[in-house]
Amino acid sequence: MKLKNYVLGKWVEGEGSGTPLFNAVTGEQIAEATTQGIDFKAALEYGRSVGSTNLRKMTFHQRARMLKALALYLNEKKDIFYQLSYATGATKSDSWVDIEGGIGNLFVYASKGRRELPDEPFYVDGKPEMISKQGTFIGQHICVPLEGIAVHINAFNFPCWGMLEKLAVNFLAGVPAIVKPATVTSFLTELMVREIIASKILPEGALQLLCGSVGDLLQHVTCQDVVTFTGSAVTGKKLKTMPSIIDNSVRFNMEADSLNCSILGTDAKPDSEIFKLFIKEVSREMTLKSGQRCTAIRRAIVPEHLVQPVIEALSARLKTATLGNPQTEGVRMGPLVSKEQVSDVKAKVKELMTGCEVAYGDLENFEVVGADKERGAFLASMLLYCGNPFNKKQPHEIEAFGPVSTVMPYKTLADACQLAKMGKGSLCGSVFTNDDSIATEIVMGSASMHGRLMLINTSSAGESTGHGSPLAHLVHGGPGRAGGGEEMGGVRGIFHYMQRTALQGSPTTLTKITNVYQPKAEQKIDKVHPFRKHFEELQIGDTLITGKHTVTLKNIEDFAELSGDKFYAHMDENSLEGTIFTERVAHGYYILSRAAGLFVDPPKGPVLLNYGIEECRFTKPVYPGAEIGVRFTCKEKIDQEKRTPEDVAKGIVKWLVDVYDQTGDTVAIATILTMVKKKNQS
């Protein structure tokens, strides 16, 4: 069977013979893949003209709902992905990380898109900058989707997760993608893309797939495109330095395999719980996905007096990791992805052994359960020991991308930090200690060389997501050898696919552009109280100028009794010497509460409830006798989807509450949120 490519909105078969793809367990050929004959330039242009146009018309919320629908759809289809995943050598638990972990990323970004981003096709970044004296000329940053396409060149180890974790981000940003999975496991990626396309959830042109060589694709990228690469550092550097990438200043995100480490704290003892947790995690990282993870623990850094207990404990645990056919009961570790990968890992282990010794395992003599050892791509776990890690460069420079790890000793925490950094940049590291001072010293001493650090003690271990598990909420990437890039990280990730532009102009103009009220923009004063207006009827800039209230000493004392806040500045005029206050001052929260009494319209209406306060500042003391009023302005509107047909149609409205005194000076400023009913309930 020849895999098909999905380009220009249709499934097409590459020309000629393709690269043969094999079942990692049985060695049988299951498919072949080729992109020969594909017009790569046309595929890019199609994505830019069709996919980009369609996605940029959508708001963040619409894109987020699209991701949720896709996640739900794929979750219903997951069984067919699991079945084919066995052919990659993955066990059920390995596949769970790849398949359901990838779908989980879609769910996370669907949630974040609706909760943390506006219902707009663009993002207002940060607060306005007051760059003129009178405030008639201001600055504001916005982020808009790039008008190109994301090219994702993925690694073989996660054919589903590797694709979905990137698509979740670029789709939410409003950018289409071409996915080029590693050829050896592209059969699983192709199956998932077939289901994605069949769902018809994505707009036309949003996704294309290439199963085989990347051809001359990267020679046609422009400054509006983004290229992401996951794989070996050597290949990544070659791609990153292509003339087309450099000449066009193409955004290039690289996530390369790295020599990640785990450090056992000096407080550990062989019979302690933290010691056992360390052993469990190192062995798990060696055997999960058969060690074929860019985040796997390659270096176990332990106090020198614990070297032998660590080696013995790890060896005992690795013996229980039965190697064989992933579909055979009791098998905990499957084969590597291919025979070629076996040869590569063996060669790297032999290089490592020029500076290390074997502590456990054998490259040739091992047993396999439920499969033919010679036909499948099997390799047993290998634990090495480097007794002189400061003078042996091998474990800090050579990565065997399989079930291989090296134990190395340290004397002091400073030594441990130095060893951690000798990997020259890691995606992640972990620290196992119950002593927070040890954790602090290691973080401060090694964080500069890590993209992520997992700190485990006995109280956090039960809910830990694991050393090697990247999360959509946190950045995935690392410095130096790890590629110098970042992926995911919550909404941070979407800005890699967007252009940040600084706008300068009048507050009124920028209000119109951003749909967010900017300070000193024109205000629309209406006879109708804003709380009488439904969500659709409210306009950005709608403003209520309230009546006035004179603050009295009795107000201050009554509020102190009611709230229990009897701070000296409010109650004792004899204690004010040396302070900024000249007399007893009104509570800031009284000012804000009284402001609410001025701007709230009491009768039942479209406003359903007060949703909260985002920002609040008390900018000038208010003394008895001061007269305060409020400029109450509609600042921003956020639509909300109905969760059920019976749900009330509504939206969130942000209001600028500007409390000023008789001199016109602002004494308090806040942003409050209300939930406002829509007039149209359909």
Residues forming the active site:
255, 294
Torsion angle of alpha carbons 268, 271, 275, 281, nearest 10°? 180
Cα of first residue to Cα of last residue in the chain, in angstroms, is 50
Token digits of residue 426: 């890691």
Q: Indicate the length of the chain as a whole number.
A: 682
Rounded to whole angstroms, how far apart are CA atoms 659 and 594? 10
Neighbours of 112 (CB within 10 A): 21
Token digits of residue 261: 């480490």
Rounded to whole angstroms, how far apart are CA atoms 406 and 287? 14
DSSP string computed for 185-203? GHHHHHHHHHHHHHHT-SP
Token digits of residue 601: 């319209």
Q: Which long-range contacts (CB under 8 A, 24 or more apart) does 647-655 make?
A: 648/608, 648/677, 648/681, 649/677, 649/678, 649/680, 649/681, 649/682, 650/535, 650/608, 650/675, 650/676, 650/677, 650/678, 651/535, 651/675, 651/676, 651/678, 652/611, 652/676, 653/535, 653/538, 654/614, 655/530
3, 187 in Cβ contact below 8 A? yes
Rounded to whole angstroms, how far apart are CA atoms 618 and 151? 49
477: which strand partners? 486
- b/e per residue 522-543 (b: at least 16 CB within 10 A): ebeeeeebbbebbbbebebbbb
Rounded to whole angstroms, how far apart are CA atoms 62 and 42? 28
* Single-letter amino acid, residue 668: A
150, 497 in Cβ contact below 8 A? yes
Beta strand 429-432 pairing with 453-456 = parallel
What is residue 465's DSSP assignment?
-
* Single-letter amino acid, residue 298: R
